[in-house]
Structure 1
Amino acid sequence: MFFFEEHYRLLGFKAIGGVDEVGRGPLAGPVVAACCILREGMDLPEGIDDSKKLSRKKRRVIYDQLRDMDGVDYALGLVEPEEIDKINILQASHLAMRKAVEAMKVDADFLLIDGLPVPGFKAPTRSIVKGDSRSISIAAASILAKEFRDDLMAEYALEYPQYGFEKHMGYGTKLHMQALDEFGPCPLHRRSFAPVRKAENEFK
């Protein structure tokens, strides 16, 4: 998990940021990205890994630890459903990543990006397929983004309780699809996604 960070430190880079996003697949809510720089030699929480591999309880513990630790610099970037519908989910994911990097108080001099190449960064980058399970910085970013987004969806559930956002986080579960059929889409839904568009047309 430290290979990429150590490799680029040996090449002279000091502030290496891991970048990951969550929320491409849901039918509702924003896409959220995080950029995270971990100070060299710091004591990290045990069990940092791809957020999808961790239980909610374990992921939450690590999330709280990362937020409170000296030596962890991070920032988040969000793209809301309305903008997702305008520019498509791939471009929205890239935009969220750039927003997260731009929001950093500490400028990264090198970026490790989860997945395929993402354009538009000022710093040099390395794209890593399945980077959230191969790079400690990307894994930390995935946890920060995932927990932040889950908390946000739980807050939205208070405003739109009929959809059960706190249970499925906007993904197209059976419960969510039933709510869409019954109530139609709300402002958090992504109209450019086929199931939402279908539900909206049928609800009219």
Structure 2
Amino acid sequence: MFDLEEIGDFDFLAGCDEVGRGPLAGPVVGCCVLVDRDSLTVENVDFLLSHGITDSKKISATKRKKILKSLGIEKYELASKNSLTLNKNLKISFSVREISNESIDQLNILRASLKAMGDAFIDCFSGERTKLLIDGNKYIDLGLENVSEEFVIKGDSKSALIGLASIIAKEYRDNLMIEMGKKYPGYGLEKHAGYPTKFHKDAISKLGVTPIHRKSFKGVKEFCQQL
């Protein structure tokens, strides 16, 4: 099992993922899920995987909600740091952080995505020896003492912790975009979460750019120049 192989002699293992790199509107969202050495057992990893945890993009919204409900996580505020026990001695901490569309325009989407994951990890980090698994092919480069970073390509399909972080981040962001759809009607944000669908791009051309659109992105910046 990937997570069990990665703990090594560290006291904690953390998994980070992000969602929302591709949309034309809204923030990018990062999540970190962290467990201590005693919680990282075969039984507990099997417990997580038995709920169908994997890459959030591979499962439906209904399935994601079912997973979080079955774990009891839906009872907690996803926008803040939480610590809870899921199964006997399986204690996890998780945090969700978002980087705004304005910051994405300033930083670029890659740096903003890494910052979202890094900020979420820092929320959970206790200062003790921690192995940090990062979905993708880039290090966050936090430069923190006692933290060893490792990027994992397709990590949300390989690590239960990264997979769970992916699901939590996706649910948080989708819920946020539903609310944004109410605030900025006509763009279909509640349906496509800000991604560049034909409907969304047509709406931008007809209705213009909102305050939550990423003005540095193709499909948006062309219309900003007309303002």
Give TM-score scaled by structure 1 length.
0.91
Q: Does 1:40 align with 2:62?
A: no
Q: Percent identity?
A: 41
Partner of 1:64: 69
Output the aligned Cα RMSD.
Answer: 1.7
Partner of 1:163: 187
CA distance in 2, matches of 1:182, 1:65: 42
CA distance in 1, matches of 2:135, 2:67: 19
CA distance in 2, matches of 1:16, 1:105: 10
Q: Determine helix, strand or coil for the equivalent of 2:219.
A: helix
Partner of 1:181: 205
The one-letter amino acid paired with 2:33 is C
Aligned residue among 76, 95, 104 for 2:124: 104
Q: Point out where structure 1 has 5 or more consecutive residues left out of the alignment.
A: none
Q: How far does residue 63 in structure 1 lie from its aligned partner after superposition?
A: 2.5
Q: How far does residue 172 in structure 1 lie from its aligned partner after superposition?
A: 0.5
Q: Does 1:145 align with 2:187?
A: no
Partner of 1:91: 111
Q: Does 1:30 align with 2:54?
A: no
Question: Residue deviations 1:57-84, cap 9 Å, x none?
Answer: 1111113344256123100111000010
Asked if the contact 2:55–2:163 (Cα under 8 Å) also holds between the matched residues in 1, the reply is yes
Q: How far does residue 12 in structure 1 lie from its aligned partner after superposition?
A: 1.5
Partner of 2:221: 197
Q: How far does residue 106 in structure 1 lie from its aligned partner after superposition?
A: 5.0
The one-letter amino acid paired with 1:57 is T
Aligned residue pairs, count:
200
Q: How far does residue 201 in structure 1 lie from its aligned partner after superposition?
A: 3.0
| CA distance 1:167–1:16, shift in 2 (3 Å) | same
More strand as a share of residues: 2
Asked if the contact 1:33–1:77 (Cα under 8 Å) also holds between the matched residues in 2, the reply is yes
